[in-house]
């Protein structure tokens, strides 16, 4: 193991980590927003749009992220729609994550009994107040374990965005291996970098999940 090589390239991995985390966070935020919107559409069975959401979920979950990214970056320019690599990466991650988040939130929404909705309406709550103050908080508590698993999954999926020539962790590792043939050292830094990113997130989400569970049991 060439530790001098590792030390020399730590700054490069630091920059790659920042890009990976940046795209991952934005992608996760949009995934959650898309997931909530789609889950509510399915929950309220909105005509026409409900069918579009179902098609989106099937398309997203049954095609690899790499194909979605290729379509965004290489396919759309053929019809005059062009995005830069960063935007394509965020759109691709959000498109994939939104469908998984939708399924997670839908399971939470389905756990809400009709009686709670009827009780809310009977005391004068508007539909918006009912959703924001009664339905979504409870649904989020139920669906949080699945949402947390999806967050970790999406952070791992950032390893694919290197196909867009973005200098993220996987792209940098392949680049260093190709230039210097330092396979063991490069892979070691890749593993450490992903552990630094994902392990704290996983621990924090686990702690939040336990506290939410205890709070629910306590109530």
Cα Rg, the chain, nearest whole Å: 21
One digit per residue, the tens of pLDDT, for the chain of length 219 reads 777 888 888 888 898 899 899 999 999 999 999 999 999 899 888 888 999 999 999 999 899 988 988 888 888 888 888 888 889 999 999 999 999 999 998 888 888 777 777 777 777 777 788 888 888 888 888 888 899 999 999 998 888 887 776 778 888 888 888 888 888 888 899 999 999 999 999 999 998 888 877 765 555
pTM for the model: 0.86
Q: Given this model, what pLDDT does residue 54 score?
A: 92
Residues 111, 138: Cα–Cα separation, whole Å: 9
pLDDT of the residue at 91 = 93
- The pLDDT score that the predictor gives to residue 150 is 93
Confidence (pLDDT) at 170: 85
Whole-number pLDDT of residue 30? 95
Q: State how far the Cα of 178 lies from the Cα of 42, in Å rounded to an integer.
A: 48
pLDDT at 216: 59
pLDDT value, residue 38: 92
Query: Which residues are CB-contacts of 147 (< 8 A; sequence separation ≥ 6)?
Result: 32, 35, 101, 104, 105, 140
pLDDT attached to residue 85: 87
DSSP three-state, residue 198 = helix
């Amino acid at each position: 193991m060439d530790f001098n090589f590792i030390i020399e390239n730590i700054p490069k991995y630091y920059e790659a980590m920042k890009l990976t985390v940046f795209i991952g966070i934005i992608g996760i935020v949009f995934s959650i927003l898309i997931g909530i919107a789609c889950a509510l559409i399915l929950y309220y069975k909105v005509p026409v749009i409900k069918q579009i959401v179902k098609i989106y979920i099937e398309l997203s979950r049954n095609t690899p992220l790499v194909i979605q990214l290729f379509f965004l970056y290489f396919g759309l320019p053929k019809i005059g729609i062009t995005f830069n690599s960063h935007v394509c990466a965020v759109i691709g991650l959000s498109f994939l994550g939104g469908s998984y988040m939708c399924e997670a939130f839908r399971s939470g929404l389905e756990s809400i009994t009709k009686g709670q909705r009827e009780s809310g309406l009977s005391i004068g709550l508007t539909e918006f107040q009912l959703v924001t103050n009664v339905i979504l908080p409870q649904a989020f508590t139920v669906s949080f374990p699945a949402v947390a698993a999806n967050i970790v999954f999406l952070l791992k999926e950032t390893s694919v965005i290197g196909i867009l020539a973005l200098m993220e962790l996987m792209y940098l590792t392949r680049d260093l291996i190709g230039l210097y043939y330092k396979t063991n050292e490069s892979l070691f830094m890749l593993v450490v970098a992903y552990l630094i990113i994902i392990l704290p997130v996983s621990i924090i989400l686990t702690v939040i999940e336990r506290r939410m569970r205890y709070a629910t049991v306590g109530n």
